[in-house]
Chains A and B, each alone.
Chain A
Amino acid sequence: DTGVSQNPRHKITKRGQNVTFRCDPISEHNRLYWYRQTLGQGPEFLTYFQNEAQLEKSRLLSDRFSAERPKGSFSTLEIQRTEQGDSAMYLCASSLRRVGINEKLFFGSGTQLSVL
């Protein structure tokens, strides 16, 4: 168990470019979450997967954001036509959801995105 892994750690891009982030969850975890966090704020929910199914997406998320989790393993988050307001820390978290087990979220180290 190596924890939740995210790549890259930092991404600097120009406005209008597309970026893609990757998350590898803890291997036995069936739920995977993407959050976004800016300075002085708590994490903001973006989207969530149970295995390979994307079951919920924040209404705050524009059409420029898309996420996938093929085969229920790693996940990618893509932002198209980036804007300066997209600059934030993008956090991935995973958890094990089973009957009788209290779910706990474990976060990766995050990807810090800067849009110039």
Chain B
Amino acid sequence: QKEVEQNSGPLSVPEGAIASLNCTYSDRVSQSFFWYRQYSGKSPELIMSIYSNGDKEDGRFTAQLNKASQYVSLLIRDSQPSDSATYLCAVKDAGNNRKLIWGLGTSLAVNP
């Protein structure tokens, strides 16, 4: 059973701090990784994708991938209250490129 695991949280950080969200996956041959943000009652919104080991930066967001350790993380710099949401990690199934394997999400609360 291929799995993606995330700490459910809630993760609480003060405004302006760095929020660090982590995700581990079981299938070591996975190649494509995604972070989605989901506000309560809304649909998931793609915020980052990463395919190679190392860091990928986009504005205040940095995705980090370590395939040897099978983890992918998301850093949010200068956290804002509007970043308060659930962050879902998704990993493309290497055996079926049409499928994403989803974590249950980490709830982030940024306190003003």
Contact = CB atoms under 8 A, between A and B. Distances in A.
Nearest to A6: B43
16 contacts: A33-B98, A40-B8, A42-B102, A43-B44, A43-B100, A43-B102, A56-B98, A91-B43, A102-B32, A105-B34, A105-B46, A106-B46, A107-B36, A107-B43, A109-B43, A110-B42
A102 B43 contact: no
B97 interface: yes
Q: Which secondary structure dominates where chain B touches chain A?
A: loop
A89 B43 contact: yes
B43 A31 contact: no
Interface in A92-116: 102-110, 112
Q: Which of A56, A103, A104 has the most CB of B within 10 A?
A: A103
B98 A40 contact: no
Instruction: Give the contact-size bracket for chain A.
Output: 20 to 34
A55 interface: yes
B97 to A, nearest CB: 7
B104 A103 contact: no
A42 B49 contact: no
A112 to B, nearest CB: 8
A2 interface: no
A48 interface: yes
B88 interface: yes
